[in-house]
């Protein structure tokens, strides 16, 4: 059962549906000495039930949690780590994850990793807009409610961010809710339920 429920994060394609699991997201946007954004450190905190599935799967297969982490990052890398960053009318290019760790916080699995931004972004020249979403909406990914959840590390004093909640229409919500555990709404469903965050520096 544990292996069956791991879904996209561990590479299974048979389970894609409306949210059956939840991930609390934390984001630390890192500024360099020139005021440019050079990377983002993401922290994902999985719901209790999925955390149990991950641990059980590790025990069943004889793998260490580090191996589970490697699988998660390998598979999410194919989807740009579920992160979309828009700047100056285009999508920012991300490097390969670094400094990846996995642990347990209050019985919940937590992973953290740094994503370098290939060409640093200037938020003074144009707003930076990002969304985080698992494409099929099997996982709902929202910024955590606790503070601080979004950090602008070493940012100039004029930098701010604005978080807008998702606004799917009633028909889309009903469609997502109608999907069974073995049904998929396609890779474009999750982004419809994503928060939108804008980073701006005056």
* pLDDT, tens only, 122-166: 999 899 999 999 999 989 999 999 888 999 999 999 999 999 999
* pLDDT, tens only, 170-195: 999 888 888 877 777 788 899 999 99
Q: Identify the band that residue 40 occupies on the pLDDT scale cut at 50, 70 and 90.
A: very high
Lookup: tokens for 26: 């934390």
How many CB atoms neighbour CB 165 within 10 A?
10
Output the pTM of the full model: 0.88
* pLDDT, tens only, 2-25: 443 455 565 544 444 478 899 999
**Residue 186 three-state SS:** coil
* Alpha carbon distance 117, 128 (integer Å): 12
Predicted confidence at residue 27, as pLDDT, reads 98
* Alpha carbon distance 68, 134 (integer Å): 18
> What does pLDDT average to over the chain?
88
């Amino acid at each position: 059962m544990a292996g069956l429920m791991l879904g996209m994060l561990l590479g299974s394609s048979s389970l894609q549906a409306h949210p059956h699991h939840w991930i609390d997201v934390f984001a630390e946007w890192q500024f360099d000495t020139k005021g440019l954004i050079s990377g983002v450190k993401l922290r994902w905190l999985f719901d209790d039930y999925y955390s149990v599935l991950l641990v059980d799967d590790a025990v069943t297969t004889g793998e260490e949690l580090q191996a589970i982490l490697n699988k998660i990052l390998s598979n999410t890398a194919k989807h740009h780590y579920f992160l979309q960053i828009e700047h100056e009318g285009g999508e920012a290019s991300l490097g390969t994850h670094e400094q990846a760790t996995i642990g347990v916080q209050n019985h919940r699995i937590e992973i953290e990793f740094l994503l370098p931004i290939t060409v640093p972004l200037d938020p003074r020249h144009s707003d930076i807009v990002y969304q985080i979403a698992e494409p099929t909406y099997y996982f709902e990914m929202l910024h955590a409610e606790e503070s601080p959840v979004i950090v602008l590390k070493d940012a100039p004093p004029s930098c701010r961010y604005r978080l807008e909640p998702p606004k799917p229409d009633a028909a889309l919500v009903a469609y997502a809710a109608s999907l069974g555990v073995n049904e998929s709404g396609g890779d474009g469903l999750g982004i419809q339920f994503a928060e939108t965050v804008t980073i701006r520096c005056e």
